[in-house]
Amino acid sequence: MKYISTRGDAQPRSFSEILLAGLAPDGGLYLPVSYPQLDAATLERWRGMRYAEVACELLSMYIDDIPPADLRDLVERTYTVEAFGDERITPLQPLDEGVYLEQLSNGPTLAFKDMAMQLLGNLFEYELGRRGETLNVLGATSGDTGSAAEYALRGKRGINVFMLSPAGRMSPFQQAQMFSLLDPNIHNLVVDGVFDDCQDLVKAVSNDLAFKRRHRIGTVNSINWARLLAQVVYYVVGYLQAARRVGDPVSFAVPSGNFGNICAGHVARMMGLPIRRLVLATNENNVLEEFFRTGTYRVRSGAETHETSSPSMDISKASNFERFVYDVVGRDPARTRELFVAGVERERRFSFDEADRAEVERFGIVAGTSTHADRLATIRDTWERFGRVIDTHTADGLYVARRHVEPGVPMIVLETALAAKFSATVVEAIGIEPPRPPRLAGLEALPRRFEALPRDVEALKRLIAARDEPATADVGTR
Ligand SMILES: *Cc1c(COP(=O)(O)O)cnc(C)c1O
C-alpha cells in the first residue's frame, strides 16, 4: 500500500516512510491510494477473533513493509488486558434499547487516545530501532494528548519526549498524571502562558528546518496516519459486537474535536463496514457542526474559541478535516488545495454549493452540538437510569446520539474518556465523585517531575539540543 498527499504534490510513500512524518511536504495529509475493502466473509471470519487479532488483520491491509511476524508481535504487545483492563479491550455496555457505550477509555490515561497512541509508541520504537535512529518528540498539550503520548513513549528506546503545557491550566488529575512520570526520557516543560503560547513555541521550533533536521524533531499529533489507522480497528470491533448479523447497519456517535476519531469511522465506512450514520457531536465549539448544517467551513479565532467543560473538544479548526473533504471532492488534489490553501489558509473559510453538499450527504455524517447544560443533564440522566457515570465528552456524544437513534439500528456511542478525568463537572451534575480505577488511587500524592520553561524559542532549542542523544555520533549539537 502506498500513501499520497491530499494536495497531490508528494511522492507516493510506504507506510514506514510516513509513520514518523507529520504533514506531507506539500502541506497536505497522507492517505492511502485506495481503501481496501472488507467483504462479508472477512467480517464473518473476524467475528470470533480477539481485538489484537482483528487489529493485526486490518493493519496488514495497510502495512506491507513491516514483516508480518514483527507486526503481530507489536500489536499483541499493545492490546493487552494489563494495559486495557478487559480481555475484550473495547467492550460494549448496553444502556437503553439499542444504545451502547463502546468503552475506549480503560487504557493507561483513561482517554480513547491511548487506543492509538499505545500502538504508535511501539511502532515508533520498532521503526527507529530498525533504522538505527533516534527521535525527539515535541508537542504541546492542554491535557489528553500529552499524557497519552507520554504514557505511550515512556521508557522507549531512542525516543525523548518534550511536552509543553500551560502552567495551571490542566485539571489537577491531568497534571498529576503527566508530572508523576519519572522516566528519564520524559521532559515535562511548563510554560507560563496559555495553550496557544505552548503551541507557538512548538511551531517556531518546527519552522526552523535546519534545527528540526539536525535534532530529528517529530510529533505524535492527530494528523498521524498510523494513529488514525489504529482507530479504525475499534469501529470494526464495535460493529461486530453490536450487529446481529454481518451486513446489518450500525451507527456510531463520536464526540469530535480535530475530526481524528470520526475520520477513522469514515475510513471504516469507506472500507465497506456497514455504518449507517456517523453522528458527529461537538460542544459549543461547533466549527464542524456548522459545516454539516450550512456547507460553510469557518475557522475560529482564539477569541471565538470557548473554554468548555469538555475541553478536549475545544478546537478552532479541525486538523483532520482535509482528509474527509478530499474524499468528498472525488479525491481531486487540485480542488482540495484550492479549498484549504486559497480557502482555509488565506480566507479562513470555504463554502460548498448545493452540488457539493449533496455529495457530502452520501458520506452518512449527521452532526449536532451540545452545551454545558446538556452535558450536565445527560450525565445525570445516565447515572439515574443506568447507574453509569460518564464523562463530559461522552455526554456530548450521547446527547447528540439520542436525537439520531433509528429503530432497528444499534447506536454505539464512543466513550472517549472516563469521568474520573473530569470530576469537577461530574460532581456538579450528580453530586458525587466519579469512580477512579484502583491503580490510580493516590495519584496526586506521587512525586512529580517537571521544569519551568520561559516563553522563549531559543531557550526551548537549547534545552532540546542539550538532551538530544543522536544514535550516530556524527552530530555536534549546539
Ligand atoms: C481528543 C479527544 C476528543 C476529540 O477527538 P478528535 O479525534 O480530536 O475528534 C474527544 N474526547 C476526548 C476525551 C478527547 O481526549
Q: Is it the case that residue 68 has pLDDT exceeding 80?
A: yes
pLDDT (mean) for 427-435 = 97
115, part of any domain:
no
Q: C-alpha angle 343/457/340, rounded to 5°?
A: 10
412 found inside a domain: yes
Q: With a cut of 70, say whether residue 474 has pLDDT above it.
A: no
pLDDT of 226 over the 80 cut: yes
Q: Which three cell numbers stand for residue 352?
A: 460548498
The answer to whether the CB of 257 is under 6 A from ligand 1 is: yes
Residue 76 belongs to a domain? no
What tens digit of pLDDT does each residue of 212-224 get?
A: 999 999 988 889 9
Q: Work out the burial of residue 279: count CB atoms within 10 Å of its CB; fewer than 13 is exposed, 13-18 middle, 19 or more buried.
A: buried
Quote the CA–CA distance of 27 and 7 in Å, as a whole number: 7
**For a pocket test of ligand 1, which of 112, 232, 413 has the largest count of ligand atoms closer than 8 A to its C-beta?**
112
Report, as an integer, the average pLDDT of 328-342: 98
290 domain residue, yes or no? yes
Greater pLDDT, 429 or 469: 429
Lowest mean pLDDT among 115-129, 160-174, 224-238: 160-174
Kindly tell me if the per-residue pLDDT of 475 is higher than 60: no
3-state secondary structure of 1: coil
Chain segment 365-412, per-residue pLDDT in tens: 999 999 999 999 999 999 999 999 999 999 999 999 999 999 999 999
Does residue 405 sit within a domain?
A: yes
pLDDT at 469: 78
User: Mean pLDDT across the stretch 192-221?
Assistant: 90
- The yes-or-no verdict on residue 241 having pLDDT over 70 is yes
Phi, psi angles (nearest 5°) of residue 136: -110, 105
State CA 386 to chain mean position distance: 28
Task: Please check the confidence at residue 61 and state whether its pLDDT lies above 80.
Answer: yes
Alpha-carbon distance of 251 to 259, in angstroms, equals 17
The residue ranking higher by pLDDT, 15 or 206, is 15
408: which 3 cell numbers? Answer: 432497528
240 lies in a domain? yes
Question: Is 66 a pocket residue for ligand 1 (Cβ < 6 Å)?
Answer: no
Dihedral-angle region of residue 168 (phi above 0 means left; psi in -120 to 50 means alpha; beta otherwise): left
Q: Does the structure show a pLDDT above 80 at 473?
A: no
DSSP output for 183-250: -TTEEEEEESS-HHHHHHHHHHHHH-HHHHHHTTEE---TT-HHHHHHHHHHHHHHHHHH-SSTT--E
How many angstroms separate the alpha carbon of residue 433 from the centre of ligand 1?
A: 22
Residue 161 β-bridge partners: 137, 186
Read off the pLDDT of residues 319-333 as tens digits, 9 standing for 90 and up. Answer: 999 999 999 999 999
pLDDT tens-digit profile of 260-286?
999 999 999 999 999 999 999 999 999
Residue 31, in any domain of the structure: no
- What is the pLDDT at residue 477? 37
E strand residue ranges, 240-379: 250-255, 275-282, 296-298, 349-351, 365-369
Residue with CA closest to ligand 1 atom 1:
312
> What CATH code is carried by the domain that includes residue 318?
3.40.50.1100
Q: Are strands 349-351 and 451-453 parallel, antiparallel or unpaired?
A: unpaired
**CB 253 near ligand 1, within 6 Å:** no
User: What per-residue confidence (pLDDT) applies to 376?
Assistant: 98
Report whether residue 410 contacts ligand 1, using a CB cutoff of 6 Å.
Answer: no
Q: Which three cell numbers stand for residue 278?
A: 456517523
Contact residues for 331 (Cβ-Cβ < 8 A; gap 6+) = none
Please tell me if the CB atom of residue 256 comes closer than 6 angstroms to any atom of ligand 1. Answer: yes
The rounded Å distance from CA 415 to ligand 1 centre is 10
Atom of ligand 1 nearest to the CA of 393: 11
Q: What is the mean pLDDT of residues 419-428?
A: 95
Q: Is 461 a catalytic residue?
A: no
Q: What is the residue-averaged pLDDT of the chain?
A: 95
The residue type found at 90 is T
pLDDT band with cut points at 50, 70 and 90 for residue 431? very high
Q: Which three cell numbers stand for residue 234?
A: 475499534
Q: What is the per-residue pLDDT for 42?
A: 97
How far is Cα 429 from Cα 356, in angstroms, rounded to an integer?
41
- The answer as to whether 466 is a domain residue is no
Q: What is the mean pLDDT of residues 338-345?
A: 96
Number of domains within the chain: 1
DSSP 30: E
The pLDDT assigned to 168 comes to 84
* pTM of the entire predicted model: 0.96
Give residue 111's identity as a one-letter amino acid code.
Answer: A
The pLDDT of residue 9: 86
Residue with cell 473533504: 325
pLDDT at 451: 96
Is the minimum distance from the CB of 260 to ligand 1 under 6 angstroms? yes
Burial of 241 from C-beta contacts in 10 A (0-12 / 13-18 / 19+): middle
Look up the domain containing 268 and give its range: 92-110+226-430
Residue whose CA is at the smallest distance from ligand 1 atom 2: 312
CB 409 within 8 Å of CB 96: no
Distance 474 CA to ligand 1 centre (A): 40
CB-ligand 1 contact for 107 (6 Å cutoff): no
Tens digits of per-residue pLDDT, 356-370? 999 999 999 999 999
Q: What is the mean pLDDT of residues 416-430?
A: 96
pLDDT category of residue 471 using cuts at 50, 70 and 90: low
Number of the ligand 1 atom closest to the C-alpha atom of 259: 9
> Distances from the Cα of 294 to the Cαs of 2, 289, 351, 357, 367, in angstroms?
34, 9, 8, 9, 11
Cell of 330: 472525488
